[in-house]
Amino acid sequence: MTTAAHQREPAPIAAAPNRRAAGRSPRAMGLLVLQRYALLLLLGIIVLFFTLRLPDSFPTLLNVRNILGNQSVLAIVSIAAILPLIGGQFDLSIGSVLGLTSIATASALSRFSAPLWLAAMVGIGLGAAVGAFNGIAVAKLGVNALITTLGVATIITGLISWYTDGLSILTGIPRALTDLGSGVWLGLPRTLYGLALVALLAWYLLEHTPYGRYLHAVGSNPNAARLVGLDVDRVVILSFTIAGAIIGFGGVLQVARQGGGNPQTGNFFLMPALSAAFLGATTIRPGRFNVPGTIVAVFFLATTVSGLSLSGVNTWVESVFNGTALAVAVGLSTALGRRRAGG
């Protein structure tokens, strides 16, 4: 009965936008297109502005590669962040989990001489385990997601400090991994291809699988989702678990990018990742967390910060900019979400 209901339900949902679109004027359709791609357009304006302002430093191949390479891991973490968000939950441990998985991967390679594939599986598996713990605490024990993940983040930070004594793990990292982090393929950083793989899989999961539909349903109305027979607890636990595994993969790439494990790594990812996740919900599919919008948001923020840095502004500007972007993005995505829910 539940399966049949879910087979019937997508039809009217998919048809509704078409009926609304048919009744819109060309001006309204133009505004809708502008709303969907405004951030992408703004990114183009930012690129043009800094290209004209800093022609000798900003539009260089080195700077473009640095932006693409440096932001690949952040984009992966941001994609991971949207899975619990789609299900109506926050995960404040994403930065700490990245730090933990990068340290675990580097330690497996350096201190235990593990083969590269096994060290990568350690990082990914540890990320999935932490995510599963978060999900179980939230779904089964009923603990607030903000409290759970903030507590887990604090514990992880303490464990990393205890294990590393605040020192980076830099020896014993195989050349094959560091070449992945620093090398290029077809003119693009190799880590960018890792991002492309994660983005494609996450997009397919969220947009073209039953689980993706279930996760959106749970995030929209968990009570209604239960009434139609969905296992809401399982859906929520899986969202945290998959997010943790994705972050674990990002931790492996972070080791490749840095050439080791830095105990301070996680401190720099939480705010930018959440900013990109919420800002991404204002574009491509406004009012809805989505993978393409998240990636556009990551590179919009990174490109702007890069241009400001090359212009000589103080380093504190990046923190202020990311914080402001997060506040504005939360407001916009909430407003667009309500507008979308209202039809």
How many residues in the chain? Answer: 343
- Domain of 134 in residue numbering reads as 69-266
What SS3 string covers 293-328?
HHHHHHHHHHHHHHHHHHCCCCCHHHHHHHHHHHHH
**187, two tokens:** 């003119």
In three-state secondary structure terms, 91 is coil
Predicted confidence (pLDDT) at residue 3 exceeds the cutoff of 50: no
User: Is residue 86 included in any domain, yes or no?
Assistant: yes
C-alpha torsion angle, residues 78, 80, 84, 86 (rounded to 10): 70
User: Is residue 145 included in any domain, yes or no?
Assistant: yes
User: Is residue 49 included in any domain, yes or no?
Assistant: no
The predicted-structure confidence for 261-305, as pLDDT tens digits, reads as follows 999 998 889 989 998 999 898 888 888 899 999 999 999 989 988
pLDDT at 339: 65
List CB contacts of 118: < 8 A, sequence separation 6 or more. 108
Strands (E), 20-91: none
pLDDT at 19: 47
pLDDT at 221: 92
Query: Which is more confident, 328 or 176?
Result: 176
**231, two tokens:** 């296992």
CB 253 within 8 A of CB 198: no
User: Is residue 104 included in any domain, yes or no?
Assistant: yes
pLDDT grade for 340, boundaries at 50, 70 and 90: low
Place of tokens 């800002």: 279
User: Is residue 277 included in any domain, yes or no?
Assistant: no
Mean pLDDT value across the chain: 87
List CB contacts of 340: < 8 A, sequence separation 6 or more. 286, 287, 288
Q: What's the rounded Cα separation, in Å, for the pair 142 and 135?
A: 10
User: Is residue 25 included in any domain, yes or no?
Assistant: no
pLDDT at 23: 53
Q: Per-residue DSSP letters for 195-250?
A: HHHHHHHHHHHHHHSHHHHHHHHHHH-HHHHHHTT--HHHHHHHHHHHHHHHHHHH
Which of 11-15, 18-22, 40-44 shows the lowest per-residue confidence on average (mean pLDDT)?
11-15
User: Is residue 54 included in any domain, yes or no?
Assistant: no
> Which of 22-26, 50-54, 190-194, 332-336 has maximum average pLDDT?
190-194
The predicted-structure confidence for 66-94, as pLDDT tens digits, reads as follows 999 989 999 999 999 999 999 999 999 99
Which of 2-6, 75-79, 86-90, 197-201 shows the lowest per-residue confidence on average (mean pLDDT)?
2-6
pLDDT at 13: 35
Beta carbons within 10 angstroms of residue 197's beta carbon? 12
Nearest to 100 by CA among 152, 55, 51: 152
- Give the mean pLDDT of 109-133: 96
pLDDT at 267: 87
pLDDT at 31: 65
pLDDT at 105: 96
Predicted confidence (pLDDT) at residue 343 exceeds the cutoff of 90: no
Q: What's the rounded Cα separation, in Å, for the pair 218 and 232?
A: 6
* Cα–Cα–Cα angle for 195, 245, 149, rounded to 5 degrees: 115
User: Is residue 22 included in any domain, yes or no?
Assistant: no
pTM of the model: 0.87
Domains: count for the chain: 1
pLDDT at 57: 87
pLDDT grade for 321, boundaries at 50, 70 and 90: confident
Query: Which is more confident, 54 or 25?
Result: 54
